[in-house]
A and B are shown apart, each in its own frame.
Chain A
Amino acid sequence: MLLQMNKITKSYGALKANSEVDFSLRKGEIHALVGENGAGKTTLMRILYGMETPTSGSIVVNGKQVAFHSPSDAINSKIGMVHQHFMLFPTFTISENIVIGREPAKTARFDRKQAALITEQLGTSYGMPVDPWKKVEDCSLGLQQRVEILKVLHQGAEIIILDEPTAVLTPLEVKELLIAIKRLAAQGKSFILISHKLQEIMDVADRITVLRDGKLSGMVNAADTSIEELSRMMVGRELLDLHKEAPARGEKVLEAVQLTIKGEHGKPKLDQVSLSVHAGEIVGIAGISGNGQSELLQAISGLAPVDSGKALLRGRDVTGKSVRSIREQGLAHIPEDRYQWGVAKDATVLENGLMGHARRYQRGGVLRGAAIRQLVSGWVEHFGIKTGSIHTKAQYLSGGNLQKLIVARELAQETPFLIAAEPTRGVDIGAMEIIHGELLKRRADGGAILLVSSELTEILKLSDRVLVMNEGRIVGELPGLTATEEEISLLMAGG
C-alpha cells in the first residue's frame, strides 16, 4: 500500500470535521473521494497535504509513518495537490509557472530556455503537451489545469490530489482530463480525486470512498457499485425521483428581440439574440461559459447596457430600465457567480437575504426587523441552510449553503419570471435535489424560468426547450424531451 491514513480525527472545538476516517491508496490507482459539502473531504485532504494537523490518527507513506506540518513536508514525501481554484501567476509564462521553486539557473541567473526545455519534455513525456512560452492569462481553464498538473509532476509527486478538477471545464476538456489521468495512472502515478460528479467518477475511478458527516460511510470498488448506490451512501437515504409534470405552457412572459451587445474588437458579445419564455416553462440555455450567456442575462436584468434590440417583460419594454424597475416588473435572478453578484461576504445571512426584499419589508423607510428575521429564518429551516444563526456572516457559510440562501431569496420574490444561472454550481447532491425540486415547483405553479447552466445533465433534466449559445449567438433549439448530450455538445462547439 502506497498510502495509508488510519483513524484520522480532526476536531474544531465541538465540531468533528473528520471522525476516525480510514483511507488508503495503491500505486497506480485512481481513488475517488466523494461526499456532500461539509462531509469532510476537503479537511481530510488538507491533512494529507500538511495544511492541517489531525487531532488524532496516523499517516503512513511507503510503510513509513509521517507527520506533515506544512505543504512542503507533503511535497517532499512526493504528494502534490491541484486546488479547485488554480494557483498560477497569470502574467507569467507556462514554463515559469511550472518550474517555480525549482528554477534552473546559470550561476545566479534564471535560465528561461532551460525552463522551457524542461517544460516541453515534461509535457511530452506525460502526454500533455503545452507551449512553454505562452502566458497563463491567455490559456483556457483546461490548459491552466494541465499546467497545474505538470507543476505538481515537476515537483516529483507520486500521489496527486485533485480537488474538484472538472468543475470549471468544458465537456471536451473534461474528457481530455480524464484520459490524461488514466494514462498517468497507467504510468504508475496515483490519484486522489475529489468530485461531486458521480458519472465521471464511475468512468475513471478504481475505488471510491464515501464520507458523510465527517465519518466513513463506505468504501467500494467502482466496478461493484452504481451511481444510485453512491448517492444513497452520500445522502444517507434514497433520493427522491423528481417528478416533472407535463408542461402547461401559458402566455409569453419574457421576450428578447435581437438583443445585441457590442464587444471590444468589433465582434459582438451578444449577437441579435431573440428568445421567449412562457409561463409554466423552463427554457434552458446550454453553452460553454463565455459564449454570451452572462451578457444575455445582464442585458435582460438591466445590469449591462444594450446596444440594440429590446427585452419585453410581461409585455412591457424593459430595455435600458433600472435594475430595480425591472425587478418590480417581475424578475428575480439567481446569479451565475454567487460571490461576485450574489452576496456581500462581510454581511450577515439576514442582510444578504434582505436584498431585493427591503422595499417591501419597511415602514416609512425603517426596516421591519421582526418580520425580516422571521422571513429569513423560514428559509433557513425550509432549505436546511447550515449556518450558526441568521446573524452569521455569509463568508462563513459553505458554497452550497450560500447558494441555497440565494435561491431561497430569489424564489421568495415570487415573480412571474426567474433567471436561474448555474443554480447548482458547486452544490452537493442533497442541495441540488432541493433546488431542482423548487425550480420544478415554480414551473408547475406557472412560473417562467430561464435556466443557464454549463451542466448538460442539469439542462436536460429541467428544460422544456434547450437553446444552445455559441459566440454570442443562439445556434440551435432542441426540444427538452428528446435532446441528447451529443446533439447539444456538437452545437456548443459551433458544429
Chain B
Amino acid sequence: MDKLKGILRALLQPLLAIVVGLGAGAIAIAIVGGSVTETYAEMWKGAFGSFYFFTNTLSRATPIMLIGLGVALAFRAGFFNMGSEGQMVLGALSAAVTAIYLPGPAWFKLVAALLAGVIAGGLWSAFAGWLDARFRMNLLITTLLLNYIASLFAGYVVSYPLMDRSGSAAMAQTVMVDKSVWLPKLFQGMSLHAGFLFALIGAIALAWFMRYMVKGYEIRMMGGNPLFASYGGVNRGRLMLYSMFVSGGFAGLAGAGEVLGTQYRYLDGALTSPGYAWSGIMATLLAGSNPLGTALAAILLAALQTGGMGVERNTDVPLEVSSIIQAVLILFISAKFTYSFFKKKKKAGA
C-alpha cells in the first residue's frame, strides 16, 4: 500500500511535466497556425505509427537509454557526471579503431570492440573521478570540460591520422568497419540493432544491482549521506572510482553500439549533433535516477524526437515544436530539482 503510494507519488511529477510540456507544445503549434490535434496525431504516427517507425524510435532510444543508465548510477552515488558525451565519443572511437585494426576472427573483433568502448568510456569517466579524489577538482566541471577534449581529440584522429582516404568525399571519418563485425539488426530492413538488447538488459541489471547487491546498497548510501557511508566502513574513494567507471562504461557502450550497429565507422559529429548525451541526462532526471524509469523516459524522449521528424514531414509545423516540448519538460524537471533543494535547505535551517 505504502509502496504503491510511493510509486504513484514518484510518477506524478514526471507525468505532470509531460502534460505541461505537451500543453506548451500545443500553444506553440497554435501560434504557428497548425492544428493541434493533427500535429500530435502526426507526432504519434511518426514515433509509433507503424512497426518501422516504432523500431526507429527504439533505435534512437538505444544510446539515450545506455547513457541515462550510466548517469543514473552516478547520480545515485551522489556524483554529477556531465561527461557522458565525451565518454560516448571515446567509446565509439575506440570501438571503431578496434573493429577496424584488430586482427582475428569477426566475433572476437566484435566482442573486443564493445569491450574497448566500455573501457575507454569508463576510464575517461574514472579519470574525472580521480581528479576529484586526488586534487579535489569539482566533478561537475571536469566531466563537462573533458567532453570538449574527447570530442576534439576524436575529431583530430579522424581528420588526420586515421582519416578515410579511400572514397572521393573527404569527410572526417574512419574507414568502414568490415561487415562481418557489425552488430546484427534485430529485424530485417529496420534500423533497430542488437544494442537495444544491451540497453534493456542493462536497465534490468542495474535496477537489480542497486537493489539487491551489497555494492549497490553502498552506492545508494554514499549518495544519500557520504559521511554515514564512510562511518559505516564504505571506502569512498574506491567506490567513487568504481561508480564513475561503470557510469562512463555505459556511455562508452552507447558509443560503441552506435558505431557497430548504425554508423559502421566513426564519423565526426555523428554522435554529438543528435545530442544523445544530453537526452540521456534528461531521461535520468525525468525518472529521478530510477533505472527502469530512465529506460522508459529515454524511449519517451526518443519518441518526441522521431515524432517531431514525422510532424515536419507531413505538416507545415516545424520540427522545433518537439524541442519546445523537451525544453518545457526540462524546465519542469529542474523546477522539481530546485524545489527539493530548497526544501532540504529549509529543513537544514529550521
Q: Which one of B215, B227, B235 lies within 8 Å of A322 (CB-CB)?
A: B235
A-contact 0/1 string along B193-233, CB 8 Å cutoff: 00000000000000000001111011011001101111111
A2 within 8 A of B: no
Q: Which one of B215, B220, B233, B349 lies within 8 Å of A356 (CB-CB)?
A: B233
- Residues of the A chain whose Cβ atoms lie less than 8 Å from the Cβ of B233: 322-324, 327, 356
Q: Is the CB of B225 within 8 A of A323?
A: no
- Residues of the B chain whose Cβ atoms lie less than 8 Å from the Cβ of A335: 231
Q: Is the CB of A367 within 8 A of B217?
A: yes
Question: Bound complex: CA of A85 vs CA of B346, how far in Å?
Answer: 12
Question: Bound complex: CA of A324 vs CA of B212, how far in Å?
Answer: 21
- Residues of the B chain whose Cβ atoms lie less than 8 Å from the Cβ of A125: none
Question: Bound complex: CA of A367 vs CA of B233, how far in Å?
Answer: 17
How big is chain B's contact interface, by range? 20 to 34
Q: Which one of B214, B220, B231, B350 lies within 8 Å of A359 (CB-CB)?
A: B214
Q: Tell me the A335-354 residues at the B interface (CB within 8 Å).
A: 335, 340-347, 351, 354
Kindly provide the distance from the CB of A334 to the nearest chain B CB, expressed in whole angstroms.
11
Known pairs A344-B224, A345-B225, A347-B220; A355 contacts B212 (CB<8 A): no
Known pairs A344-B225, A391-B3; A358 contacts B350 (CB<8 A): no
Kindly provide the distance from the CB of A162 to the nearest chain B CB, expressed in whole angstroms.
17
Question: Bound complex: CA of A346 vs CA of B340, how far in Å?
Answer: 12
Q: Is the CB of A367 within 8 A of B220?
A: no
Find the B residue at minimum CB distance from A356.
Answer: B232
Q: Is the CB of A365 within 8 A of B215?
A: yes
- Residues of the B chain whose Cβ atoms lie less than 8 Å from the Cβ of A340: 227
Q: Is the CB of A369 within 8 A of B221?
A: no
A310 within 8 A of B: no
A388 within 8 A of B: yes
- Residues of the B chain whose Cβ atoms lie less than 8 Å from the Cβ of A323: 230-235
- Residues of the A chain whose Cβ atoms lie less than 8 Å from the Cβ of B220: 347, 351
- Residues of the A chain whose Cβ atoms lie less than 8 Å from the Cβ of B350: 83, 85, 87
A108 within 8 A of B: no
Q: Tell me the A301-325 residues at the B interface (CB within 8 Å).
A: 301, 303, 322-324
- Residues of the B chain whose Cβ atoms lie less than 8 Å from the Cβ of A11: none
Can you report 30 A-B residue pairs in the complex whose CB atoms are below 8 A from each other?
A85-B350, A301-B231, A322-B233, A322-B235, A323-B233, A324-B234, A324-B235, A327-B233, A333-B231, A340-B227, A341-B227, A341-B228, A341-B231, A342-B228, A342-B231, A343-B225, A344-B221, A344-B224, A345-B225, A346-B224, A351-B221, A355-B228, A356-B232, A358-B214, A358-B218, A365-B213, A365-B215, A367-B213, A369-B212, A391-B2
Give the interface of B toward A (CB within 8 A).
Answer: 2-3, 212-215, 217-218, 220-221, 224-225, 227-235, 349-350
Besides A355-B221, A355-B228, A391-B3, 14 other CB < 8 A contacts?
Answer: A323-B230, A323-B233, A323-B234, A333-B231, A340-B227, A344-B224, A344-B229, A347-B221, A355-B231, A358-B217, A358-B218, A365-B215, A367-B214, A389-B2
